[in-house]
Chain A
Amino acid sequence: MKFSRLILANLFRKKARLLLTIGSFAVALFLFAFLSVVNDAFGRGADVAGADRLIVVNRTSIINTIPLSYRDQILRIPGVKAITHDNWFGGVYQDEKNFFPQFVIDPESQRQVYPELVVPDDQWNAFLKDRDGAIVGATTMKRFGWKIGDRIPIKTTLYGLAGTAWEFNIDGVYHGKDPKDDQTQFWFRWDAFEERVPERLKGQIGWYILRVDNPDDSVRIAKAIDAMFMNSPNETRTETESAFAAGWVKQFGNIKFLIVTIGTVVFFTLLLVTGNTMAISVRERTPEIGILKAIGFSDRAVLGFIVGESLVIALVGCIGLGLALLAVPVLSRAMAGMLPTLLISPKVLIYGVVAALAVGVASAILPGLGAMRMRVVDALRRV
């Protein structure tokens, strides 16, 4: 502690440089936190996927449908506990910018397969009685300021019905049990959908979601389903929900690789900037370092002062993580519908602090070792 005054005094020697260096750390850490949050949001589907859920899609592509008649056959496979089905609606509310996912669901089986997305019973019963009813995620409700009872027009863009506005009554709101659960979805009833789509699409669903009794049986059940429909006009591909979610994210490109690459470049640049700053700072103080050594400060103590200064800069730069904590909810609101709720986890904050400290130490090592090895007579000669 008695050396802390010396470390702090040296830090404040060039205030503008200190502020700029801290600013570099803060910006880099803010970016790190933001990229981590986005990465987390993209991978959220895989993270929150139920270990006991399987997804069955058309082997050709997810945009190809599967007959509803497969449902009962799948349900007969031993180990299958429940099954439901979804269709992608792809509608627009008022403006294309107002994106949020809409799914056609089977009201009878939805809650058996997604027990973590909770709808109060009275609201659910109202939904079951209302053919034009809809259940909406809490985030989307908040985003558009909707209330239960509102009538919402959604313009469809698919199924040969492009431009047609469908109107729905909001009968209820679902909440996820886990803060990470996606609360942006809009659900409406399969029977209402089937009634309005062209004849060729009747009895055709987008994909099945099923729950199994034992996750250990997932591979066996997936193989059994795909074998059952092999050589049929609609062959299937069955995979776990997490694999399906990961595959979905991959459609956007290798997001994780992109984010890790950007993050690495940012930290490497920060390392160069801070290393250069520390090198200049040490060079300017060469005679003073000589004096400290002359009066008895050891080489290690000198190294310690320089690393200490760099660590203080890094720690103060962690203010960037604090700014991210404030900014992420704002960004989350701005990106509502595009991505699930953005959440900054304690893990990200810890990684950020550790990364900052690592950069702090690394940037001070070379100038610090130079100062450590410097001979007193050489240092004093530079007065």
Chain B
Amino acid sequence: MARVDGSGASGSLIQVRELDKTYRRGSEDIHVLQGLNLDVDKGDFVAFMGPSGSGKTTLLNLLGGLDIPTRGSVTVAGDEITHMSRGKLTEWRARHVGFIFQMYNLIPVLTAFQNVELPLLLTRLNKTERRKHVETALAIVGLAERMHHFPRQLSGGQEQRVAIARAIVADPTFLLCDEPTGDLDRKSADEVMDLIQRLVKEYGKTVLMVTHDPLVARQANLTLHLDKGVLVRAGERGQGAIGGGA
């Protein structure tokens, strides 16, 4: 189970230590994250909540190697990523991280199949192997029949499921979801969350998710609240509403 006090064992999948992120706006320093600690084990499903501007997305970007911290470290599966070069970090992301964004971010000129295939183009898999992987991923998200549709021919929920297929097709170490249901109606949101739940339960995926929606957050094993740049434990699944101290 994820911990925020820095007491996690060295065997944690993700270890975050004394993480600071400061932005400079004009002459003012804005401390978005301050001395943040986090340990996430394999198979955890953690939700991050907090008000706008609290640093949720910044934290996700740091965990996914999209941004670099001002101080502190992020270690994933033994790889300390905070000091990696830009090129190394890109390679690392390709191997270890699956991204799911609020706006799906599919390439509009590619079909569902081609969008899902994108991460595999960076591997040594041949065409036949890639096809097999893509078909499997699309089958998992229930869109095998729509593989030749373009994003504009899909509903929002379907687009997000294609984005999830793209995120899992290369079998990454963990998934980062930034408001995955933020642009969906309730029904589609439920379908997407059911899918993410399946990925955790059936496929043992580790998922870190940012959300504003308490109903969505409740589906995670653990909800962490970001407040003034510090992570506090808000509640575990089955413990009821968000709240409480660390």
Contact = CB atoms under 8 A, between A and B. Distances in A.
A129 interface: no
B105 interface: yes
Contact of B66 (A287, A292, A294): A294
**Main SS of chain B's interface residues?**
helix
Given A2-B121, A288-B107, A299 B86 contact: yes
27 contacts: A2-B121, A5-B114, A6-B114, A6-B121, A9-B109, A9-B110, A12-B109, A13-B108, A288-B105, A288-B107, A290-B105, A291-B107, A294-B93, A295-B93, A295-B119, A295-B166, A296-B94, A298-B87, A299-B87, A299-B90, A376-B61, A376-B67, A377-B66, A380-B66, A380-B105, A383-B103, A383-B105
A257 interface: no
Interface string A258-300: 0000000000000000000000000000011011111111110
A295 B99 contact: yes
B101 A297 contact: no
B118 interface: yes
Contact of A3 (B61, B105, B121): B121
Interface string B179-221: 0000000000000000000000000000000000000000000
A381 to B, nearest CB: 9
Contacts of A287: 103, 105
A332 interface: no
Contacts of A377: 61, 66-67
Given A288-B107, A383-B101, A296 B66 contact: no
B80 interface: no
Interface in B95-136: 95, 99, 101, 103, 105, 107-110, 114, 118-119, 121-122, 127
Interface residues of A, number: 25
B91 interface: yes
A312 to B, nearest CB: 14
A297 B103 CA distance: 20
Interface residues of B, number: 26
Contacts of A110: none
Nearest to B67: A377
Nearest to B109: A9
A10 interface: yes
Contact of A297 (B64, B86, B90, B105): B90
Given A9-B107, A383-B105, A294 B86 contact: no
B164 to A, nearest CB: 13
